[in-house]
Amino acid sequence: MQTTQLIWKGNSWENYGANENIDPQLVLFFGATKVIAQPKIYATLREKFPTAQILGCSTAGEIIEDEVLDGNAVATAIRFDKTTLDVAYEFIDSSDQSYDVGEKLGKAISKEGLKSVFVLSDGLAVNGSDLIKGISSQLPKEVIISGGLSGDGADFGRTLVACNDYALPGQVAVVGFYGDHIHIGRGSIGGWDPFGPDRVVTKSKSNVLYELDGKPALDLYKKYLGEKAEELPSSALLFPLMIRPADSQEEGIVRTILAVNEGDKSMTFAGDIPEGYMAKLMMSNFDRLIDGANEAASITESQNRHKENGESLAILISCVGRKLVLGHRIEEEVETVQSVFDKNTKQIGFYSYGEISSNVKTDQCELHNQTMTITLITEK
């Protein structure tokens, strides 16, 4: 397996660092919405790599090696020695189509020898939880699913996905990896601290939260945000919500906000908020966020026991909320991840509106928010 990293420079893609030109089967690219909306971004990649499968998405920040960029685009071209690929895509108009779209993608990609599926989804029109359930329903349990929801900075305006064509809104794309030689490591850790009382989700529908403890959810958030309530929905990223079943004492999963509705005082999240679940607000801790990124890398690297000669690729998908909180310290989380992997592991990635990965404890694929999620691709 070989990789070539690229960065967008004005009007063309240029090699990042001392990379060799290769003949890849797969190219992944990530960039700011206004950048990858340019037809030339995809067109020049297609000209450069005429036979490759090319997938990409918009971001809330771009990751390449130990750098975090804004308003740019990055790419990685991957040459596999023994692994075959297939891709599929579907368009989605609203979040209530998420399960059906996932089911169609699962059917399209489910073929003999499938080992892993990497997902890039529209970040605003989708219920990530239902999308994953739909994909999973068509795949054998041992197939690893990972990926993320595309971003649009802190603007929450429109998100784009590309699959062998120009980047477009309302699209979900998947790439399947086939054969006995591909190995996928994955890890996903947050690092946020819960605070305040447990609250009951008393009214919700799918990924829309209406009430906590019988009171409007939006009013509760505004109380904690104070003056920053005027900056909703982006300011709510500072206080994500952790949810768990009422009969469970396990640490829950974190949900991040996508939109607010002043009319009915509701909040739309990237994944499901089931009625009857317990919910607790969370707040940031700089050091714990960075430690969480390191732990995610350590978990991922611990699964990488099959590597032979050649490179590995770590795809880092971190949440836009982490980026807003860490501010000028943001590169520390990609640097700490890089410190865990060896020198033959290249890094690429983006800041997202949701991360897709297996739960560390249950090994069940879920939508995560506010995490550093890593997919490590290796051939053995």
**pLDDT tens track for 92-150:** 999 999 999 999 999 999 889 999 999 999 999 999 999 999 999 999 999 999 999 99
- 259, 283, 307: which is the final residue of a domain? 283
What is the total count of domains within the chain? 2
CA 79, 83, 88 angle in degrees (round to 5)? 90
Q: Is the dihedral of CA 315, 272, 161, 133 positive or negative?
A: positive
Of 145, 142, 152, nearest to 102 by C-alpha is 145
Prior bond of 233 cis (ω within 30°): yes
> Do residues 130 and 83 share a domain?
yes
> Do residues 123 and 234 share a domain?
no
> Do residues 242 and 103 share a domain?
no
Residue 140, sorted as left (phi over 0), alpha (psi -120 to 50) or beta, turns out to be beta
Written as one letter, the residue type at 220 is: L
> Do residues 34 and 74 share a domain?
yes
Q: pLDDT per residue over 199-212, tens digit each?
A: 999 999 999 999 99
Which pLDDT does position 171 carry in this prediction? 98
The reported pTM is: 0.90
- 219, 250, 283: which is the final residue of a domain? 283
CATH number at 265 reads 2.40.30
Residue 113, sorted as left (phi over 0), alpha (psi -120 to 50) or beta, turns out to be left
How does DSSP classify residue 226? G
- 283, 314, 343: which is the final residue of a domain? 283
> Do residues 320 and 366 share a domain?
yes
> Do residues 175 and 39 share a domain?
yes
What is the average pLDDT score of the chain? 92
> Do residues 145 and 179 share a domain?
yes
pLDDT at 305 over 70: no
User: Lowest mean pLDDT: which of 70-84, 189-203, 303-317, 338-352?
Assistant: 303-317
Domain that holds residue 76: 2-189+287-379
User: Quick check: 52 and 24 in contact, CB under 8 A?
Assistant: yes
> Do residues 300 and 222 share a domain?
no
Which pLDDT does position 211 carry in this prediction? 96
> Do residues 337 and 363 share a domain?
yes
Distance CA 62, CA 74 (A): 7
Which pLDDT does position 302 carry in this prediction? 87
Question: What's the average model confidence in pLDDT over 337-363?
Answer: 89
For the chain, state the CA radius of gyration: 19
> Do residues 319 and 356 share a domain?
yes
Question: What's the average model confidence in pLDDT over 15-27?
Answer: 87
> Do residues 56 and 136 share a domain?
yes
pLDDT at 369 over 90: no
> Do residues 32 and 124 share a domain?
yes
pLDDT at 324 over 60: yes
